[in-house]
Amino acid sequence: MQIRAYAKINWSLDTVGVREDGYHLLDMVMQSVSLHDTLTIEPAESLRLTADGAVRVPVNGDNLALRAAEALRAHAGITAGAAIRLHKRIPSGAGLGGGSSDAAAVLRALNQLWELRYPLETLCRIGLELGADIPYCLHGGLCRVRGIGEIIAPLPVHRIYQLVIIQPCRGLSTKQVFTALGQAGSLRRPDTDQVAAALENGDLTHLAAAMGNTLQEVSVPLRPEIRAAIIALRERGARVAQMTGSGSAVFGVFSSADAASTAWKALSKRYRTCHLAHTLMNEAGEGD
């Protein structure tokens, strides 16, 4: 079987507390976008992963997709295998959820291939042990996500947004960004309720005024290229531009597909990792 693993963007990301175990509590609005990896999965005697594409990734136990397959097999108490081939397009260390999306795709596919028939809730519990974004990536679409990533509420989608996504510099580790967050003072916070309402109404003007990413302010001093890329997107006509996740990728929202395409053609000459994309209606890729 072949399955797509879609990247995600954060329309908003707010930190609202810290648990006793040190995990940050978040309040976010996330959406799947058309940029995707492709996984081909076939029955095999053993469990193995190969990878190709524009982005180099490990194919051993450091790969989240392989770890997800191993975790699912262990949970089921089976010895079944699978040959997983990953064609990578989503940049690594970008805050686009590429590794988490690959892991979610593997969980969905192997649940079917191995005829486990686990409900989505079970797959999410398995995924959460591996990465906080995996439960969202299992749901996909437009969602409000709270807690450490386990509280997920789908939101209605009525509009597709045209995007240009840039990774202007090497990636940032989540640990590095949250360490900087702990040392920061007051930060600008998004109005997450208004972000959700603006997306439901398809109102880009109100969306631009409400959206934000609390981690952006602490990431920019670590990677000044992030701010430069945001400025470049705005200069090319983006209605709004910001960092996604813990970086280092940024995205710009454009008023039309033609405007996004024109900006992408210009910016791709300056940035090696520059993608033309759009938001998706749901995790199955409607609108793709």
Could you tell me where the DSSP H helices lie in 28-80? 64-76
The distance of Cα 281 from the centroid of its chain, to the nearest Å, equals 15
- What three-state secondary structure class fits 38? strand
How many residues comprise the chain? 288
Q: Say which amino acid occupies 109.
A: A
The phi and psi torsions of 190 (rounded to 5 degrees) equal: -75, 160
- What three-state secondary structure class fits 49? strand
- Please identify every residue annotated as catalytic: 8, 133
207-210: long-range pairs with CB below 8 Å, 24+: 207/11, 207/240, 207/253, 208/239, 208/240, 208/253, 210/12
Cis link prior to 248 (omega < 30° from 0)? Answer: yes
- What three-state secondary structure class fits 283? coil
Tokens of 53: 């594409």
Distance separating the N- and C-terminal Cα atoms of the chain: 19
The phi and psi torsions of 287 (rounded to 5 degrees) equal: 90, -5
The phi and psi torsions of 239 (rounded to 5 degrees) equal: -70, -30
CA distance 267 to 279: 20
DSSP secondary-structure letter at 279?
Answer: B
The phi and psi torsions of 120 (rounded to 5 degrees) equal: -55, -40
186: left (phi over 0), alpha (psi -120 to 50) or beta: beta
